[in-house]
Structure 1
């Protein structure tokens, strides 16, 4: 059988989309698929270094902005249209709403019909204002009309899309998957703590997130302040970077906890960083299927996370982690305190969490389902559900 040519269009991302795309492209069968990736030069640099030698990938730099920019978007559509006219792709797979909008318009222009759109997150956070509500819902309707198939990374995303009148039969749920073996490691915890300026004996509550509004890290900091009032020896780490870094650092100062909170910035040693944490916490307002939670669970860390998006699909409350109300620092602090005060409970959560990831959220399952969808689309069989 001839190789299937897949064009992947990726918007700029430092978070879950980048990790998802890295895992997918690094594990698609190179004997069956020839992969072309359209993204900006910075994204190419960030993901190219992770690919195995066997991967059959060609990178095509086109500057697709993450935000809406009329001039830049018109240039992006023009470049994509030219690319599609001059090349033969069997499937166009777009990651994120912005990539799907530009890629979908270009594909429609040249008459290409085999378009897949992966929805990595809900649009509910973006639609907090009336004008944004109309805009994003309109964009989503355009994208869903153009796309032959939509991949939702969680049942929660699928259900929200159905509520917005997107046909259920065109939505396939393929959960994110990770390589759990990367997180079963031995590491020198004392050395990493010393690097970060954290006392060796201190318990650590950590989070890994892009420092952006939807991650609601102010609630994480407020929860930290509550905990420090009764457990002053605790330390907190926030791993990641983003537009709100300065604002969050100022919030830590305002709360009087700046000496107990470490902003590590971007790290490429996530398995090692996870292993110094005693509790992993996620305070998001909205999520698709958070890869950082999958990774923390694979590292056998007890997780406290907000009950939003696809997170309750990963965490069974009280068995594989704890779920708390969003935007509620008291609830978050109580969940963390419950784990820190009960070592046996914490260990049981961590063990059950890793078992869940190993059995249900592997890269192999994600890639197998995606490959099947590709073949179904090419052969015009009914897509998987």
Structure 2
């Protein structure tokens, strides 16, 4: 079986890193096309031996990408096309049809209640999404929450298959030596209480709320933000204005699979350096950073996390939902700081999100789709 994965870009975001991890476990022969921004993950995929093509798309309305993509699909002799993220799903489904490949699967990584990958869910965006979705065979939702959002939009339930994001849980196990190395590299005091945040630095992630909370906390509390994005300058200005800039560390994008020759701490080491992870984003499709933090044995404060919320109430004792603003986060962080370090226990729920299991479910979907067993392709 030969499959082509089409994704909007390959920066170090959750969907992009999830794709790289999946390809390490899929038994199909897979190539990857990035419409734009090949980024860090493209280099990592290439190091893994995956053939990566950068299409060079110049914007959302660069229609020349469609025939180029269709020709690439025809030339590659692919049995199946799998698309990821909004722009790639739209252009990839059209191109696959033009190339004569009707077995098209999409994964919906980032649909919120009111936004889709950061863009407002206007009537036009929704109509275009639904028109493109009909050109595929099945849409994979990364959580039951996302599946319900798709049904609410009008995607037929029989076309939806829930396959959760997965992680390589043992890789995230707490490591005291890596904790010390990561703290030393970024100038974090050994005795500091470090609040972490992981994700794209965009307004929707609300990391500014954590900077505001830091201003309400004692001087031995630090903030470590892992990720890059357009809000970096805003966050730095906010920290400066609130007088906490010397206690805020922004690492930029960091992979969780180490790259050859990279001397900076990777995501796994940075999670070991934290004492708690905070995820104040009000609309998440899964909550991958939260699951990774739980795999590192960290307590977690979150505003939205389907990966936790879709489980029984007592399944994730280390995670607590916070509904207020900066003051609410500050109060809970003070409580955790006073309680002292825990045992770094990994909750059982983490093992429900195993990347090998997710890959097996996806291979089952591929096989059913290619065999024409449409009754087996999608289930909600």
- TM-score normalized by the length of structure 2: 0.88
For the structure 1 residues 190 and 196, does the alpha-carbon distance in structure 2 shift closer, same or farther, using more than 3 Å as the test?
same
Which sections of structure 1, spanning at least 5 residues, go unmatched? none
What is the CA–CA distance in structure 2 between the aligned matches of 1:41 and 1:132, rounded to whole Å?
22
What is the CA–CA distance in structure 2 between the aligned matches of 1:128 and 1:63, rounded to whole Å?
20
Question: How far 1:52 sits from its partner (Å)?
Answer: 7.4
Check if 1:343 corresponds to 2:335: no
Check if 1:266 corresponds to 2:241: no
> Could you say which residue in structure 1 is the equivalent of 2:204?
214
| Aligned partners of 2:201 and 2:232 also within 8 Å | yes
For the structure 1 residues 26 and 128, does the alpha-carbon distance in structure 2 shift closer, same or farther, using more than 3 Å as the test?
closer
> Could you say which residue in structure 2 is the equivalent of 1:172?
161
SS in 2 for 1:341: helix
What is the CA–CA distance in structure 1 between the aligned matches of 2:180 and 2:123, rounded to whole Å?
51
Q: How does 1:83-98 map to 2 (within 5 A)?
A: 83-98=72-87
| Aligned partner of 1:256 among 227, 230, 243 | 243
Check if 1:38 corresponds to 2:36: no
- TM-score normalized by the length of structure 1: 0.87
SS in 2 for 1:246: helix
> Could you say which residue in structure 1 is the equivalent of 2:364?
372
| Structure 1 consecutive aligned stretches of length 4 or more whose deviation exceeds 4 Å | 50-53, 127-132, 308-311, 314-318
> Could you say which residue in structure 2 is the equivalent of 1:332?
329
| Aligned partners of 2:159 and 2:378 also within 8 Å | no
**1:293-314 deviations in Å (ceiling 9; x for gaps):** 1211111011111135545236
Q: Let me know the Cα RMSD of the aligned residues.
A: 2.6
**1:82-123 deviations in Å (ceiling 9; x for gaps):** 223334221110001110100111123344321111000114
Which sections of structure 2, spanning at least 5 residues, go unmatched? 256-265
Check if 1:80 corresponds to 2:69: yes
What is the CA–CA distance in structure 1 between the aligned matches of 2:47 and 2:182, rounded to whole Å?
28
Larger relative contact order, structure 1 or 2 (CA cutoff 8 Å, min sep 6): 2
Range with bigger deviation, 38-47 or 299-308: 38-47
Range with bigger deviation, 207-216 or 39-48: 39-48
> Could you say which residue in structure 2 is the equivalent of 1:69?
60
